Chain A
Amino acid sequence: MSHQTDRPPAAGISRAEVAHLARLARLAVTEAELDTFAGQLDVILQAVARVGEVAAGDIPPTSHAVPLTNVLREDEPIQCLPRDEALAGAPDTVEGRFRVPRILSDEEDPG
Chain B
Amino acid sequence: MVVRATVEPDLEDVVRRYEPMIGLEVHVELGTRTKMFCGCPTGFGAEPNTQVCPVCLGLPGSLPVANRAAIEATIRIGLALNCQVASWCRFARKNYFYPDMPKNYQISQYDEPLCTGGWLDVDVAGETGDTVRVGIERVHLEEDTGKTLHLGGATGRIHGATESLVDYNRAGIPLVEVVTRPVAGTGARAPATARAYVAALRDLVRSLGVSDVRMEQGSLRCDVNTSLAPVGAGEWGTRTETKNVNSLRSVERAVRSELIRQAAVLDRGERVVLETRHFHEEAGDSTPGRSKETATDYRYFPEPDLVPLAPDPAWVAQLRAGLPEPPREHRRRLQAAWGLSDVDMQAVLNAGAVGLVEATVAAGTTPEAARKWWLGELSRRANEAGVDLAEVGAGPADVAALQQMVDQGTLSDKLARTVLDGVLAGEGSPAEVVAARDLAVVSDSGTLIAAVEQAIAAHPEVAAKVRDGKVAAAGVLVGAVMKATGGQADARAVRELVLSRLGAA
Contacts and interface: CB of A to CB of B under 8 A. Distances in A.
Co-assembled chains A and B:
yes
Interface of A: 24-26, 63-64, 66, 68-78, 80-81, 83, 86-87, 89, 94-111
A103 to B, nearest CB: 6
Interface-central residue, B32, B38, B97, B301, by most chain A CB under 10 Å: B97
B66 A103 contact: no
Contact of B49 (A69, A76, A96, A105): A96
B334 interface: no
Contact of B164 (A71, A76, A100): A100
A15 B61 CA distance: 33
Interface residues of B, number: 63
B25 interface: no
B34 A75 contact: yes
Interface string B34-68: 10001111000001111111100101000001111
Contacts of A68: 307
Interface stretch (B144-152, B186-194, B318-326): B144-152
A102 B307 contact: no
The 5 nearest A-B residue pairs measured at CB = A78-B39, A63-B302, A75-B69, A97-B165, A72-B68
A97 B145 CA distance: 15
A104 B289 CA distance: 10
Contacts of A97: 48-49, 149, 165-167
Interface in B248-296: 278, 287-290, 293
Contacts of A66: 307
B165 A98 contact: yes
Contacts of B364: none
A87 B307 contact: no
B67 A72 contact: yes
Contacts of B59: 89
Interface in B288-337: 288-290, 293, 297, 301-302, 304, 306-312
Interface string B123-135: 0000000000000
A89 B62 CA distance: 15
Contacts of A24: 95-97, 297
B215 to A, nearest CB: 16
Contacts of B311: 70
A8 to B, nearest CB: 25
Given A63-B302, A86-B52, A98-B165, A109 B148 contact: yes
A73 B66 contact: yes
B374 interface: no
Interface of A is mostly: loop
Contacts of A72: 65-68, 71
Given A24-B96, A70-B307, A80-B51, A99 B163 contact: yes
Contact of A76 (B39, B54, B70): B39
A96 B304 CA distance: 32
Contacts of B47: 83, 96
A100 B297 CA distance: 23
Interface in B80-101: 88, 90, 95-100
Contact of A102 (B48, B164, B289, B302): B164
Given A73-B65, A98-B49, A80 B304 contact: no
Interface string B149-165: 11110000000011111
B356 to A, nearest CB: 29
A104 B88 CA distance: 37
B90 A83 contact: no
Contacts of A81: 52-54, 57
A111 B147 CA distance: 9
Contacts of A101: 161-164
Given A71-B307, A81-B54, A107-B289, A102 B67 contact: no
A91 B66 CA distance: 30
A86 B168 CA distance: 10
A94 B148 CA distance: 12
Nearest to A72: B68
B100 A77 contact: no
A75 B71 CA distance: 11
A91 to B, nearest CB: 11
B33 A76 contact: yes
A107 B150 CA distance: 11
